[in-house]
Amino acid sequence: MKVATYNINGIRSRLSNLLEWLEKEAPEVVCLQELKSPESGFPYGPIRDAGYGALCHGQKSWNGVAILARGEEPVETGRGLPGDPNDEHARYIEAEVRGLVVGCLYLPNGNPQPGPKFDYKLAWFERLITHAKALVKSKRPVVLAGDYNVVPTDFDVYNPRSWKKDALLQPESRECYQRLLAQGWVDALRTRYPEERIYTFWDYFRQHWEKNSGLRIDHLLLNAALASRMTDAGVDSWVRGREHPSDHAPTWVELADGAPARKTGQKK
């Protein structure tokens, strides 16, 4: 089973890219970010026709997240990150799919820094860390997937000097990511490729895609119950090379089948 995350940068203007990718790669579970659309504009019809059930947490103009499931309907377990009732941004949705708990997140970009947007990023990150603490310990398999807007180390960017002042590389952002990992999460892509440069995002400027000047900011974190099932991971970078692409590429993990659910025990 393939679980993927894809920052689509506008689902309405990118629908054909999404459908082509779904048809070619047929992931079982998909986390989407940056829909830039309210739920009323979400293309449920074409996505259903492609064979996927969908959950959408949208808003006008910005942000927006969704979870797709091939051949079934994801069962929603939460939307909006707990911890701040005044936070209106549509950046988190959670569901159960195929025995997995799937958290789909779009962490704030945080630029320019310093400033209120960077403060919001760090505050949101703290709320994520708090929420993740319960998930990581679960006996159930959990994946936290999305656009984290964090370049974990200098090895995850083509040239750290060019991005030194960017919110994605700040020590505070990286410290939060490390603290999240330290709970016990496995960073699927880096575990699969411990010594290779691998990117998930190439901005639209200065022919960065053509020169492979990328960043690794889309991450799939697995708890212990799921990490042992990982058989492969990768980036569908061909999608970034298509006409009219998002600046991100779909990033995925392949998982072996889990043990069948028990009829007794575990129940609370």
Partner DNA sequence: ATGTCCACTGGAAGTGGA
Q: Of residues 79, 117, 127, 242, which one binds DNA by CB under 7 A?
A: 117
Contact 115, 167 (CB under 8 A): no
Residue 13 in contact with DNA, rule: CB under 7 A = yes
Q: Which helix (H) or strand (E) holds 178?
A: helix 171-181
- Cβ proximity to DNA: between 41 and 51 the closer is 41
Over the window 51 to 70, marking each residue x when it contacts DNA by CB under 7 A and - when it does not, the resulting string is: ---------xxx--------
Residue 37 in contact with DNA, rule: CB under 7 A = yes
Sign of the torsion angle spanned by Cα atoms 229, 266, 221, 147: positive
183-242 binders of DNA (CB under 7 A): 203-206
| 106 given a catalytic annotation | yes
CB of 81 to DNA, least distance (A): 15
Choosing from 106, 148, 177, 199, which is the catalytic residue?
106
| 120 given a catalytic annotation | no
Q: Which residues contact 158 (CB under 8 A, 6 or more apart)?
A: 197, 199, 212, 213, 214, 215
Distance of alpha carbon 73 from alpha carbon 95, whole angstroms: 10
Contact 102, 29 (CB under 8 A): yes
Which residues form the interface with DNA (CB under 7 A)? 9-14, 34, 36-38, 60-62, 108-109, 111, 117, 203-206, 244
Query: Which residues are catalytic, by number?
Result: 106, 147
